[in-house]
Structures are given as C-alpha cells and as structure tokens.
Amino acid sequence: MTRLHDPISCAALAYLAIPAFIFVCGWMEPPFALTISVVLAVALYRLNLQLPERPFEYSAPALITLLILACLWAAFSGGAHLFYANTDWRTRDAVYADLILSSWPPAYGLSDGAPIVLRTAFGYFLPPAWLSHLAGIVWAPTILACWTALGVLLFLLLLPLPRQLGWRLPVMVLLVAFFSGMDYPAIVLVHGHTPIFPLPLEWWRKWTYTSLSGQLLWAPNHALALWLGTGLFYRHRADPMLPALGLVLLPLLLLWTPFAVIGLLPWFAWSITRLGIPLRSMLRSSTKAQWLTAICLSGAVAGLFTRPSITAHSLPLVQPTTGNVPASAAAYIDWASSYIQFIAFEFAILALLLRPRLAETRQALALAVGILMLLPMIRLGPSNDWLLRVSTPSLLILLLLTLAEFESPITDLRRSIRMVSLAGVLMLGAITPGFEFSRSILWPRTPPNFGQSLVEQQGGFMAPNYFGLLDHAFLQALFKAPSRVPDGPTRQNLLPASMHRPP
C-alpha cells in the first residue's frame, strides 16, 4: 500500500474530492461517471506521490485538543441547528433537504420542455446529503455538523499552529476563530453610536469583509472550500509540485464555490512566478490524468452552472459597485471617504503592523493588501458574494502572517510596542465574532427548515443562482434524467412530524 507523503494535505484533498466523486456518480450517466471517477482517483494518487515528505507532527494530546476546539467552533454553524441559525439557513436548509429527499439531479419542473434543475454550488452538502438519505433525514443536522467539524479540523491542521499541547495552542486557535476587521470601533467612530447587541456588525459600509467565524456561521458551504484551498496553497507555495496541485485542486473547488478559484488564481500565479518554473517544466510536471481531471470535471461543473436561468436573463455579469463612478465632486469625495474608512478598519491598520522579515512574506503581504484594496471596486452579479468570497484567500494570508508574527521572538522595545498594538487591533476585531457567537447563544434555537422545497421557500421565485435549464443536448446525454423534487403534501409525508413545515 502506498504511503501518504503528507497525511494532512492528503486528508484535506480527500475532503474536497469526496463531493466530486459523489457528484459524478449521482448526477452523470454510468459510462461518464465511471470514466471521470477513475481519472480523478488516478490524478489524486499521482499527486500524493508528488507531494514532499511531511510526516504528521501533532502529538496525540494536541490532536485531541484541536478536535475538541473544531467541534465547538463547528457547533455554532447554522446547519447544525444546535443554536440560533442566521436567516440564510432557511434557504440552505431547503437546498440540503431537496438533495436528501430527491433522486439526483433534482429538478423543479419544466420550462419550454427543458428540466429546471438545481445548479448552485452544492459541494459542501453532497456527502452529508447522501449519508442522510441512507440514515434518514432526522440525522441530517447531526451529519452536517460532523462534516463541518471535520472540515474545520483539517483547516486547523493546515495552519502553522504549535504541534505540542500547551497554553499557546488553544490561544492561537482562539486568534483564528476571532480574526476579524475592526467593525465595532468603525461604527462608533464613523457613525457616532454604539451597535445594538448582538446584531451583525459587518455591514457598516456598502462593502464588507467577513470574519472567519462569520463565514462559518453564515456560509460554511463557501467558507470551508476557501479555507482548505488557501491552506493547501500556503503549505505548498514553495514546492515544485505547486502547478500539479493547482491543476487538481482548483477544479475540485469549482463544485464547492467558483469564487474559490477566482480568489486563489492570483496566489498560484504569484507563487509559480516566484518559483521560476518554465512553462515546459510546468506542463511535464503534471500527469495526463491530472490534465484530464481538470478538463472533464471543470467542463461538467461549468456546463451545469452556466445554464441559462429562468428569470433575470438580462442581469449583467460584471458591473461597477454602486457609487464607483460618482456623478459629482461631492459624491466622489463621499465615496473616497467611505472607501478609505472601510480599508483602514478592515485590514490596512493590521497590515501596517505586520512587518515580515523575509522577502517572500513581504511580497505576500503586498499582494494581499493590493487584492483587498481592488476588490471593492468590482462587483460580480446582483449580490455581494464576489466581495465576501473572493476576499477570503487574501484575508487568510493576513491571518497566516499574523500567526507568524506571534511566533517570532520579541527582541527590543520597538517590537514590543508593535506586538502590543497588534494584539490591541486583534482584540478590537474580536468583538465582531463575539457578537456572532452571542447571537447564536442568546437567541432561540432555530429548527431546520426541511418542510419546504427550495421553490416554496423562495415563494415561487426561481432565483438565477439556484435554478437553471438543462437545455443542451450534450448535457442531457451526460447527466441522468432529472427527478422532481417533492413538495407540498408529498414532502410532508416523507418527513417525521417534528420536521413538518408550519402552516
């Protein structure tokens, strides 16, 4: 049996790849499913052989501690329904239940003879949905909570945390969980009032960069892929096999959230440029199976996700954020003032306190700051997902550089002052996730919304980011015949009494 060269990286890749195997086997016709599954398995096997040797260094007590902390952090995720779940979970619960109660691919009727299928980024939900279909939907929240905790644990293992148990390990994990921009002082200083406890703090301007705990509580379906993808990139940023990693990793992330690919591409390009790998060597370092996986998996996912929607056909794909082109000098000054306030409190003050000693980390800091400054000037689609998701890899790089700062020794008074200032900035930022946790604990527990189909939950509106027409002949041959999602009385008959939709 082949030994794992890097057990943590292999486990993270397996976690991200499991939804892809389930997707091709559940959605596609058997010949295509078998072919892509075999090619993907070979690509992952060959990638394991290319990974540099990194033995598992965590002691058993440290691993147990990380597991406990990961479970505690994941317990607050809305899908677990152990506490109050933020309002977005009504929609995510409906997606999750539709995947559990339906044969795949799930469909919502016909439009001009073409099936209306679910085509959102559902990679996060596929493994727990499959297990919940086997075990019964009553186990769905528990299974989703365990799946989330596993993803959080793998993310923590990818970080440069202490390998032995001591006081520093839980403190560093708390730093990760409470890492955020300084939203509370921004509201006080910019708007002149204290926020209402424990309402969300992050929308104090027209833009927002979400804290890690905010991402986990509101949208782990996006967050975990972004976290693990960035963690894998950073772990292997200086390894010659980085192009092969990108070739396998990025198509896997498409199924979780396409924004992860957009957010990570600049970082892969930067590292490959730094490594100075010639194009010919890059092509040779990747196997045929890895190229086939990238082409087949990306094509299948993109083919599904880019199908035309039922409504809002005319929505522009790219548009400037409102106010990016001010109509007057006064409007321009107002926009510039808002922008400067936003970047200052969200990341610029923190970045100024980070002064990496190595040239590589200084370049990483400059790239992260540059990306985070640019993103508010671009808007993709009608919602703010572009800013929320694409910013995450760069915010995680700032987190990694912050962790490195606390690992370095304090040698003089100037560094002592800087580290105290850095700790102060982090403590002010920690108020934001503190509000998130407080709301989850203090507000009434939210039961899962499994009694409504996605269409019913949306009030009959077919949102373009959830529904698409399977109207292309090739895709109809590639995918299995869609199955109608149960709703109404049929759905109620499939659920235990405790999960019935209220009248």
Closest listed residue to residue 364, CA positions, set 417, 403, 416, 408? 403
Instruction: Output the six-digit token pair for 149.
Output: 């905790």
H/E stretch holding 483 reads strand 483-484
Q: What CA–CA distance (Å, rounded) separates 335 from 151?
A: 39
- At residue 382, the pLDDT reads 59
Q: What CA–CA distance (Å, rounded) separates 58 from 164?
A: 6
Q: Which residues contact 499 (CB under 8 A, 6 or more apart)?
A: 137, 138, 447, 448, 450, 451
H/E stretch holding 263 reads helix 258-275
Answer for the pair 254, 16: CB distance below 8 angstroms, yes or no. Answer: no
Q: Tell me which residues of the chain have a pLDDT lower than 50.
A: 312-325, 503
Q: What CA–CA distance (Å, rounded) separates 339 from 346?
A: 11
Instruction: Output the six-digit token pair for 72.
Output: 């505690």
Q: How far is CA 232 from CA 193, 249, 367, 406, in A?
A: 41, 9, 18, 21
- At residue 333, the pLDDT reads 87
The residue extents of the domains of the chain are 7-309+324-494
**Residue that has been written with the tokens 């730093």 in this structure:** 175
Answer for the pair 209, 347: CB distance below 8 angstroms, yes or no. Answer: yes
Answer for the pair 13, 253: CB distance below 8 angstroms, yes or no. Answer: no
Q: What CA–CA distance (Å, rounded) separates 366 from 344?
A: 15
Please indicate, yes or no, whether the overall pTM of this predicted structure exceeds 0.85: yes
Q: How far is CA 34 from CA 22, 91, 324, 482, in A?
A: 11, 32, 48, 19
H/E stretch holding 117 reads strand 114-118
- At residue 142, the pLDDT reads 96
Count the Cβ atoms, other than its own, within 10 Å of residue 284.
10
| Long-range contacts of the stretch 142-149 (C-beta < 8 A, 24+) | 142/80, 144/79, 144/80, 144/96, 145/74, 145/75, 145/77, 145/79, 145/80, 145/82, 148/74, 148/77, 148/79, 148/80, 148/216, 148/220, 148/224, 149/67, 149/70, 149/71, 149/73, 149/74, 149/75
- At residue 284, the pLDDT reads 76
